[in-house]
Homo-oligomer: A and B are copies of this chain.
Amino acid sequence: MESLTEELLGSGWLKELPPQPGHMGRPARLFSFHATGDYVLGIDIGSYSIRAAVADLDGTVVASRTERVSADAGRSVRLTAVRATAVEALASAEVGSAQLATVCVGTTGVVSHDGRVKRCVGLPEWDGLDLAGELGADFDCPVLVENDCNLAALTEGWIGEAQGVDDVAFVLSGVRTGAGLLIGGRVHRGRGGAAGEIGALPLLGWHRATSHLTGYPKMPADILPQEAAEYVFAQARTGEPAARWAVEQYAHDLAEGIAALVLALDPELVVIGGGVSRSGDVLLEPLRRHLDPLCLEPPALAVSTLSDQAVVLGAVRLALDHVDARLYDVDTMLPEPSS
| Chain A residues close to B by CB (< 8 Å) | 23-26, 28, 110, 119, 167, 179, 181, 183-184, 188-201, 203-204, 256, 259-261, 263-268, 294-297, 336-339
| Cross-chain contact of A195 among B189, B201, B260, B266 (Cβ < 8 A) | B266
Query: Complex formed: what's the CA distance from A263 to B267 in Å?
Result: 16
**Interface pair B265/A264, CB less than 8 Å apart:** yes
- Inter-chain CA distance A296–B199, complex, in Å, is 11
Say yes or no: A294 contacts B201, CB within 8 Å: yes
- B296 A196 Cβ-Cβ under 8 A: no
Find out whether the CB atom of B167 lies under 8 angstroms from the CB atom of A337: no
Q: Are the C-beta atoms of B264 and A195 separated by less than 8 Å?
A: yes
For A193, the closest partner residue in chain B by CB is B266
List of B residues within 8 angstroms of A336 by Cβ: 24-25
Listed from nearest, the 4 A-B pairs whose CB atoms lie closest are A190-B266, A25-B339, A194-B266, A195-B266
User: In the assembly, what is the distance between CA of A337 and CA of B339, in Å?
Assistant: 13
> Besides the contacts A194-B266, A198-B264, A264-B265, what 11 more A-B pairs have beta carbons closer than 8 Å?
A25-B25, A25-B28, A181-B265, A183-B188, A189-B266, A191-B266, A192-B297, A194-B296, A196-B264, A197-B264, A200-B263
Report chain B residues within 8 Å CB of A265.
181, 188, 190, 195, 264-265
A205 — nearest CB in chain B belongs to which residue? Answer: B203
Shortest CB-to-CB span from A299 to chain B, Å, is: 8
